[in-house]
């Protein structure tokens, strides 16, 4: 049984690392629906697979944001000021 669990966790980890962002979102939603259908795990705690997928989605989103060439890298930039500068008096 230990070998089977190790194989399944390896296949999940391989999928987690190689799946596209959209596939991860779909996989998360499938697991979330199943989790909700089964009574939220009995205690409301998300499954370990859901937590891993969430972490991977967050990591990819932050990486995408960090590498966005349109992102303002000025440390003094406040997003609330963005519209004020565009207004003409």
pTM of the complete model: 0.68
Contact 58, 24 (CB under 8 A): no
Q: What's the rounded Cα separation, in Å, for the pair 54 and 52?
A: 5
Q: What is the CA radius of gyration of the chain?
A: 20
Write out pLDDT tens, residues 26-66. 999 999 999 998 888 788 889 889 999 999 999 999 999 88
The residue that leads in pLDDT, 58 or 87, is 58
């Amino acid at each position: 049984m230990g070998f089977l669990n190790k194989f399944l966790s390896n296949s999940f980890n391989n999928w987690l690392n190689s799946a596209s962002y959209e596939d991860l979102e779909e996989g998360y939603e499938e697991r979330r629906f199943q989790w909700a259908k089964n009574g939220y795990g009995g205690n409301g705690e998300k499954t370990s697979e859901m937590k891993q997928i969430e972490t991977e989605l967050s990591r990819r989103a932050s990486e995408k944001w960090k590498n966005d060439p349109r992102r303002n890298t000025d440390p003094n930039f406040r997003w609330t000021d963005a519209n004020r500068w565009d207004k003409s008096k």
